[in-house]
Structure 1
Amino acid sequence: MDDRKSVQDWWRTSIIDMAPGRIAFRGRPIEELIGTVSFPQMIWLMVRGDMPSAAQAALFEAALVAGVDHGPQAPSISAARMAATCGVGLNNAMATGVNMLGDVHGGAGEQCAELYFDIDQRMSDGAPLDQAVEAGLTAWRAKYGKIVSGFGHRFHKPVDPRAPRLMTLVRDAAEAGTVSGRFADIGEAVQSVLSERQPIAMNIDGATSVIFCELGFAAPLSRGLFCLSRSVGILAHAWEQTQQGGRNKGPMPPSFLPTYDPDPQV
């Protein structure tokens, strides 16, 4: 391989064809996409390589809309607002917030999708839904512990108001033939098992994971898509904070100080 070809192959991509005077995403010229494609459709095209139907795009968009914000008490939002008071730009404040989206805060959708796909595989291998759910939950808990991502919420009890609306849209889409409804069955069966002792809500992560699985997105993309969705709220809060002003705002007002708990060993 000559040196020129080696350099050109260094970052091989099927996503974009870019040269002077030419930009095409997945083989589609940008001038044909501008004004004809919605942002959710563009996300799908870039990630998946094809264009969703209008019905698929509408369901996908509903999931993205549902996760945009959850208030300043959410670590990602509060971190972005604090960053905005420290003299950084909006992009830095947004990066601060997005970087808070890890396994505990922001990763539940990916973990929940893993559970759904595991149950789906068990059903494909011949297990009925109830047995597949029980076996899937047992395997989940052995790996992650007793808290099942996608279910339960520290604020919204016994119902997360976002989840029922999303599940209604999934059921409507299944009735219309847009999706199979298989993962909606799985999600609701998981919720039923988890609620045997006391009612537990399917939360935003549980519901959006149903949608992403129904639409064929791999489990890790559930986290990336949530980051895109939550970035909207992060931007809005960072911008609002810059308009409100404030300098070096910490997690508590200055009149409150953290509890000092001296180390008895010292």
Structure 2
Amino acid sequence: MSERAKLSPPDWWATSIIEMKPGMIRYRGYAIEDLIGRVGFAEMVYLLTRGELPPKPAARLLEAALVAAVDHGPQAPSIAVARMAMTCGVGINNAMASAINTLGDVHGGAGEQCVALFGAIAARLPEGVRDAAAITTAVTAEIDALKARGIRHVPGYGHRFHPLDPRAPRLLALVDEAAAAGAVSGLYAAIGRTIEDVVAARRGGKRVPMNIDGATGVIFAELGFPPPLCRGLFVLSRSVGCLAHAWEESQSDYRNKGPIPRDQIWTYTGPGPRNVPE
């Protein structure tokens, strides 16, 4: 018999996240009635995922990251899918789930990739050394490593819609404020900016600005979130936009609304008309 099979029913789903019994709910030891009205949603996200309530500056940074990524319009696959699903007669939860399931490595996964990249660069720094020259050396080495693995695009930089993503500078400014106050190290903001500089130097001075994934990646890295958890944080944020768009679409009179207007037909690239063989 395996060790798992020997577990008692209470130990089968043992968890450090929630304690509950009739008349009592505690998250990480805190009574829910004490948390309600005293902590915000971002603080609850931090508490449940990290085990402790965050300091106020950390909570402010996390909330800023969550606010920044809530929506990017129907040109974003997740939002478009939420709206299309709603016109098919499904429930709002189905529409949200369908939308969230599109958030993968290409759409929605760059934040996780950024944090992993920032961490790899930080790991290249000699212990206790964080000067600009050392950071530039570490960034250069890691970008070379990406190139050697066949990775052409540095995650978190450039945007197919925005020449300069308006969300990134504001988020970085908040990180700078927190670093100046001693709330975060500022190391990952420095790494993020140095990546932009190194890439620009390799492109003859043409800059590829940091985008929302890079900027939120800086925040998540500064706050110490593990890379896989960062994708979940993006999902939490974008869920708000998916909910809003699904609800708005439910108020329209469209039924079975596809990705292109019905008076337009896709381009066919297959064989011309032909007869079925006898």
Question: What is the letter of the counterpart of residue 12 of structure 1?
Answer: A
Match of 1:181 in 2: 186
The residue aligned with 1:170 is 175
The Cα offsets for residues 151-174 of structure 1, whole Å up to 9 and x where unpaired, read as 0000111x1110011111110110
SS in 2 for 1:87: coil
1:237 equivalent to 2:239? Answer no
Q: 1:56 to 1:144 in 2, by over 3 A?
A: farther
TM superposition outliers: structure 1 runs of 4+ over 6 Å: none
The yes-or-no answer on 1:136 pairing with 2:138 is no
Cα offsets for 1:126-168 (capped at 9, x unmatched): 69111100111122233461111100000111x1110011111
Residue matched to 1:199: 207
TM-score by length of 1: 0.95
For 1:221, give the aligned amino acid: L
The equivalent residue for 1:220 is 228
In the superposition, relative to structure 1, how do residues 7 and 193 fare at CA in structure 2: closer, same or farther (>3 Å)? Answer: same
After superposition, the C-alpha distances for 1:44-91 in whole angstroms (9 at most, x for unaligned) are 000000011111111111111000000000000000100000000110
Q: Does 1:252 align with 2:260?
A: yes
CA deviation map 1:169-221 (0-9, x unaligned): 11011001110100000000001111222121100000000000001111111
Report what 1:7 is aligned to: 9
Residue 172 of structure 2 aligns to a residue whose secondary structure is helix
Secondary structure at the aligned position of 2:8 is classed as helix
| Greater mean deviation of Cα atoms: 118-127 or 70-79 | 118-127
- Residue range with higher mean Cα deviation, 124-133 or 16-25: 124-133
Q: What corresponds to 2:93 in structure 1? A: 91
* Number of aligned residue pairs: 264
Paired letter, 2:171: L
Residues 144 and 113 of structure 1: CA distance in aligned 2, closer, same or farther (over 3 Å): farther
Once the 2 structures are TM-superposed, how far is the Cα of residue 5 of structure 1 from its aligned partner? 5.1
> Partner of 2:19: helix, strand, or coil?
strand
Aligned equivalents of 2:30 and 2:6: distance in 1? Answer: 26
Note closer, same or farther for the CA distance 1:230–1:253 as it changes in structure 2 (3 Å cut).
Answer: same
Q: 2:66 aligns with which of 60, 64, 67?
A: 64
Report SS of the residue matched to 1:17.
strand
Q: Deviations over 1:213-244 (max 9, x none)?
A: 00111111111100000000010000010012
Determine helix, strand or coil for the equivalent of 1:211: helix
* CA distance in 1 between partners of 2:126 and 2:156 (Å): 22
Aligned alpha-carbon RMSD (Å): 1.8
Q: Could you tell me which residue of structure 1 aligns to residue 41 of structure 2?
A: 39
Query: How far apart, in 2, do the equivalents of 1:216 and 1:117 lie?
Result: 10
* TM-score, scaled to structure 2: 0.91
Q: What is the one-letter code of the residue matched to 1:161?
A: P
Q: What is the match of residue 20 of structure 2?
A: 18
CA distance in structure 1 between the partners assigned to 2:57 and 2:101 by the alignment? 32
Query: Secondary structure of the equivalent of 1:150?
Result: coil
Deviation at 1:245, TM superposition (A): 2.8
TM-superposed deviation, 1:39 = 0.3
Counterpart CA distance in 2 for 1:66 and 1:144 is: 31
By how many angstroms is 1:124 displaced? 3.8
Structure 1 distance, partners of 2:254, 2:200, is 44
User: Aligned-pair distance for 1:251?
Assistant: 0.3
Please tell me whether residue 160 in structure 1 is matched to residue 165 in structure 2.
yes
SS in 1 for 2:71: coil
CA shift digits 1:9-52 (9 cap, x unpaired): 11110000011111100011111111111000000000000011
Q: Report if aligned partners of 1:163, 1:207 keep a CA contact under 8 Å in 2.
A: yes
Unaligned 5+ runs, structure 1: none
The sequence identity of aligned pairs, in percent, is 57
